[in-house]
């Protein structure tokens, strides 16, 4: 049986990752693809509990502990869900993956992209996405979109400068791996973003 495909969706909070992921899940299912939608951190019970910890504004979490918590959640998701589904030939749409840690903890927290990359190689067994869709958005626009979501979590309370750094880090990642990371203009209407994403996925859908 042919191995499945791992498609990750990246970008700042407010970029529309969840909306795009849900749209892609529907479109791929219509094409006859066996597809599962998961999120990070989360997707399995251990990772969902870690998600609650890292988002809790009442907790003080050091930068290194934060990076390791995200990696731990990722390790469990890879073992429990991603690898079995991919091995069975299924596709996985994943809302965030290693690139989020590289941008947020490696660059945003100043821990170093390469240091965080090494931690996540261990966490994932060096699992790499077949394609990453980066929703590129002005950080100020992302912050405005976030403001209507209710109480901000621990990560969302970080200063504007943090998200500017994260956005720049995502751009560098896209420049470094253009064959894997495809930029999409997240300032467009959701349907236009979805159509652009499907065009990027078409080569994988046509591959044997």
**pLDDT for 23:** 98
The token pair that represents 143 in the structure block: 């912050």
**pLDDT for 66:** 97
**pLDDT for 8:** 98
Q: Within 10 Å of residue 178's Cβ, how many Cβ atoms?
A: 9
When pLDDT is averaged across residues 153-170 and rounded to a whole number, the result is 93
CATH number of 6-206: 3.40.50.300
Q: Give residue limits of the domains in the chain.
A: 6-206
**pLDDT for 208:** 75
pLDDT tens digits, residue range 94-134?
999 999 999 999 999 999 999 999 999 999 999 999 999 99
Q: Within 10 Å of residue 151's Cβ, how many Cβ atoms?
A: 7
151 Cβ contact partners less than 8 Å away, ≥ 6 residues apart: 57
pLDDT tens digits, residue range 33-90?
999 999 999 999 999 999 999 999 999 999 999 999 999 999 999 999 999 999 999 9
Q: 159 burial class (0-12, 13-18, 19+ CB within 10 angstroms)? A: exposed
**pLDDT for 148:** 65
This model's pTM is above 0.85: yes
């Amino acid at each position: 049986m042919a191995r499945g495909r791992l498609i990750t969706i990246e970008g700042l909070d407010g970029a529309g990752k969840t909306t795009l992921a849900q749209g892609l899940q529907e479109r791929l299912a219509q094409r006859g693809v066996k597809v599962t939608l998961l999120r990070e951190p989360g997707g399995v019970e251990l990772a969902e509990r870690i998600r609650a910890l890292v988002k809790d504004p009442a907790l003080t979490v050091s930068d290194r502990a934060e990076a390791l918590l995200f990696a731990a959640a990722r390790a469990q998701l890879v073992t429990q869900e991603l690898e079995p589904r991919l091995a069975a030939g299924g596709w996985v749409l994943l809302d965030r993956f290693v690139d989020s840690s590289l941008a947020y903890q490696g660059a945003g927290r100043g821990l170093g992209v390469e240091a965080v990359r090494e931690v996540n190689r261990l966490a994932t067994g060096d699992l790499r996405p077949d394609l990453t869709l980066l929703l590129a958005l002005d950080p100020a626009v992302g912050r405005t979109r976030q403001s209507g979501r209710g109480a901000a979590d621990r990560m969302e309370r970080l200063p504007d400068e943090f998200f500017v750094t994260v956005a720049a880090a995502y751009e560098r990642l896209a420049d470094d791996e253009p064959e894997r990371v495809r930029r999409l203009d997240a300032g467009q209407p959701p349907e236009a973003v979805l159509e652009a994403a499907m065009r990027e996925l078409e080569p994988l859908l046509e591959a044997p």
